[in-house]
C-alpha cells in the first residue's frame, strides 16, 4: 500500500502532522531553517545537536540554541553527551525551553564528539547508552527519542542490538541513518537495516538518509514500514524539496519566490545569530538557494563577496524586484517576537545556575 505522506502519526503523546521530519544538521538547523521547514510541510523539525556540557556550563552560544519560536511546534531539541546526570539536566533545560521532544544524538561520527564518549561512540556502549536513556526519560515528561547510525564500522549491526534496548530504557521513537560512522556521508544509506529495526521495536522508526524526492520517500516508507522519513541535505536551501515530498507539488519556484525566501532567511538568521556570525554562517546558503539553475552562477559569487547581510538583501531585491511583495507577505505571517520563548523567561532554578 502506498504510504500517505500527509498523514499524522504520534511520538508518545505528540502528534506529528506529516510523515516528513526535517533533519537536525549542525551549522544548518537554525530557527529560520526550522520555521521554514514547518511552513513547507515538515511535520517535525529538530535543532542541531546541542552540547549538554555547554548547557551545564551555561555557555551563552549553547543556550542560544534553546530559543523556541511559537511557529516551530512540534519541535525536537537534540542533545549530545556521555554522562547520564549531565544529559538528564540538559534534558530538563530543553523541556523548560519549550521543546516537545528531547532527542539524543547517538550517531555523530565527528572525532571531536566521539572522543568525549558521545555521539556514535555510544553505539558500541549498550549499557551506558541505556543508562543515559533511562536517566533522560525519567528527568522529563516529554517523549525522549534517539537518533543513531548503523554502527561505528562499515558492516556493523550495532543499531539492531542497541535499538530494542533503548526502547526498553524509555526511548519513544528511534531515527536510523543506516550508514556507519566510518562512512561519514559516502556510499549510500542501507535502508534494509531500517526495515529490520522496524520489525524489532514497537515504537515509530524514522528513516534518515538519501531521501531527496517524493518518489524516494514513498519507496523508503514502503520498503521499511518506517513511520516517517527524515530529509537533511535535500532541504538545504531548498524548502521546495520538502513541499514536493509532502504535497507532490513539483513546480519549480520562481526567481521572486527564491529571492523572497532567501531574504527572509537572511534577516531572521541575522536576528538570531547577530550580524557578524550570520554574515559568515549564511555564505554556504547562497549557493544552495541560488543553484538548481535558479540564478546565474556569477551572482552567487557576487553575494558571497558582499560584506553585510543588508547588502545581500539589497542585491537580491535588485535582481528580483517582484520579491519585495512576497517578502512583505511572508514577514506579515511571522509570529511576533513576544511569542518566542526567551531564555531569560526560563525558570531561574534551571537557567542561570540556581
| Cis bond before residue 284 (omega within 30° of 0) | no
Residue list 78-117, contact with ligand FMN (CB under 6 A)? 78, 105, 107-108
Query: What element of type H or E holds 151?
Result: strand 144-151
Nearer to ligand FMN, 219 or 322 (CB): 219
Q: Is residue 112 packed enough to be buried (19+ CB in 10 Å), middle (13-18) or exposed (0-12)?
A: exposed
What phi-psi label fits residue 121: left (phi over 0), alpha (psi between -120 and 50 degrees) or beta?
alpha
User: How many residues make contact with ligand FMN (CB under 6 A)?
Assistant: 22
| Residue 269 interacts with ligand FMN (CB under 6 A): yes or no | no
| Residue 48 interacts with ligand FMN (CB under 6 A): yes or no | yes
Nearer to ligand FMN, 6 or 233 (CB): 233
CA 171/CA 142 separation, integer angstroms = 11
Minimum distance from residue 110 beta carbon to ligand FMN (Å): 9
Residue list 173-202, contact with ligand FMN (CB under 6 A)? 177
Q: Is residue 153 packed enough to be buried (19+ CB in 10 Å), middle (13-18) or exposed (0-12)?
A: middle
**Among the candidate windows 208-216, 291-299, 322-330, 342-350, which touches ligand FMN by CB under 6 A?**
208-216
Rule CB under 6 A: choose which of 3, 19, 24, 35 binds ligand FMN. 24
Rule CB under 6 A: choose which of 96, 122, 123, 211 binds ligand FMN. 211
108 catalytic per annotation: yes
Cell of 51: 552540547
Nearer to ligand FMN, 113 or 137 (CB): 113
Nearer to ligand FMN, 140 or 206 (CB): 206
| Residue 49 interacts with ligand FMN (CB under 6 A): yes or no | yes
Q: Which residues have C-beta within 8 Å of that of residue 100, sequence separation ≥ 6?
A: 14, 73, 74, 75, 76, 142, 143
Do residues 82 and 53 lie in contact, with contact meaning Cβ atoms separated by under 8 Å? Answer: no
With CB atoms as reference, the residue minimizing the distance to ligand FMN is 232
CA 248/CA 5 separation, integer angstroms = 9
The values of phi and psi at residue 158, to 5°, are -55, -35
Minimum distance from residue 287 beta carbon to ligand FMN (Å): 14
Nearer to ligand FMN, 28 or 320 (CB): 28
| Residue 26 interacts with ligand FMN (CB under 6 A): yes or no | yes
| Torsion sign across C-alpha atoms 116, 46, 130, 85 | positive
DSSP readout, 247-270? H---PPPPHHHHHHHHHHHHHHHH
| Count of Cβ atoms closer than 10 Å to residue 214 Cβ | 20
Minimum distance from residue 181 beta carbon to ligand FMN (Å): 11
| Count of Cβ atoms closer than 10 Å to residue 335 Cβ | 12
Nearer to ligand FMN, 107 or 237 (CB): 107
Q: Which of 206, 271, 266, 204 is nearest to 22 (CA)?
A: 206
Rule CB under 6 A: choose which of 27, 293, 307, 354 binds ligand FMN. 27
Nearer to ligand FMN, 150 or 313 (CB): 150
Minimum distance from residue 313 beta carbon to ligand FMN (Å): 25
| Residue 28 interacts with ligand FMN (CB under 6 A): yes or no | yes
CA 330/CA 332 separation, integer angstroms = 5
Minimum distance from residue 116 beta carbon to ligand FMN (Å): 15
Which of 52, 108, 130, 159 is an active site residue? 108
Residue list 220-259, contact with ligand FMN (CB under 6 A)? 231-234
Chain residues binding ligand FMN by CB under 6 A are 23-28, 48-49, 78, 105, 107-108, 147, 177, 208-211, 231-234
**Catalytic annotation, residues:** 108
Amino acid at each position: 500500500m502506498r504510504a500517505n505522506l500527509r498523514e499524522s502519526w504520534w511520538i508518545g503523546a505528540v502528534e506529528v502532522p506529516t510523515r516528513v521530519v526535517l533533519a537536525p544538521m549542525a551549522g544548518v538547523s537554525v530557527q529560520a531553517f526550522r520555521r521554514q521547514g514547518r511552513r513547507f510541510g515538515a511535520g517535525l523539525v529538530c535543532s542541531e545537536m546541542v552540547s549538554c556540557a555547554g548547557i551545564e556550563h551555561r555557555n551563552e552560544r549553547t543556550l542560544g540554541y534553546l530559543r523556541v519560536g511559537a511557529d516551530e511546534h512540534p519541535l525536537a531539541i537534540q542533545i549530545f553527551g556521555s554522562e547520564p546526570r549531565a544529559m538528564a539536566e540538559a534534558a530538563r533545560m530543553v523541556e523548560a525551553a519549550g521543546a516537545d521532544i528531547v532527542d539524543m544524538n547517538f550517531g555523530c561520527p565527528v572525532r571531536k564528539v566521539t572522543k568525549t564518549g558521545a555521539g556514535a561512540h555510544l553505539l558500541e556502549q549498550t549499557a551506558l547508552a541505556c543508562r543515559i536513556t533511562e536517566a533522560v526519560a525519567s528527568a522529563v515528561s516529554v517523549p525522549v527519542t534517539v537518533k543513531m547510525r548503523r554502527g561505528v564500522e562499515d558492516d556493523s549491526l550495532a543499531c539492531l542490538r542497541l535499538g530494542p534496548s533503548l526502547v526498553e530504557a524509555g526511548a519513544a521513537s528511534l531515527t536510523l541513518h543506516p550508514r556507519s560512522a566510518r562512512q561519514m556521508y559516502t556510499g549510500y544509506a542501507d535502508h534494509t537495516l531500517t526495515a529490520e529495526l522496524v520489525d524489532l521495536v514497537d515504537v515509530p522508526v524514522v528513516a534518515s538518509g538519501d531521501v531527496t524526492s517524493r518518489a524516494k520517500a514513498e519507496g523508503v516508507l514502503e520498503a521499511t514500514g518506517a513511520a516517517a522519513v527524515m530529509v537533511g541535505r535535500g532541504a538545504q536551501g531548498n524548502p521546495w524539496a520538502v513541499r514536493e515530498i509532502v504535497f507532490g507539488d513539483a513546480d519549480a519556484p520562481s526567481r521572486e519566490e527564491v529571492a523572497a525566501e532567501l531574504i527572509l532567511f537572511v534577516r531572521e538568521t541575522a536576528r538570531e545569530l547577530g550580524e557578524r556570525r550570520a554574515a559568515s554562517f549564511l555564505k554556504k546558503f547562497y549557493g544552495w538557494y541560488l543553484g538548481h539553475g535558479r540564478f546565474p552562477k556569477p551572482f552567487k559569487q557576487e553575494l558571497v563577496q558582499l560584506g553585510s547581510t543588508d547588502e545581500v538583501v539589497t542585491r537580491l531585491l535588485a535582481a528580483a524586484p517582484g520579491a519585495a511583495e512576497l517578502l512583505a507577505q511572508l514577514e506579515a505571517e511571522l509570529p511576533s517576537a513576544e511569542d518566542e520563548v526567551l531564555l531569560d523567561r526560563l525558570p531561574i532554578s534551571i537557567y542561570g545556575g540556581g
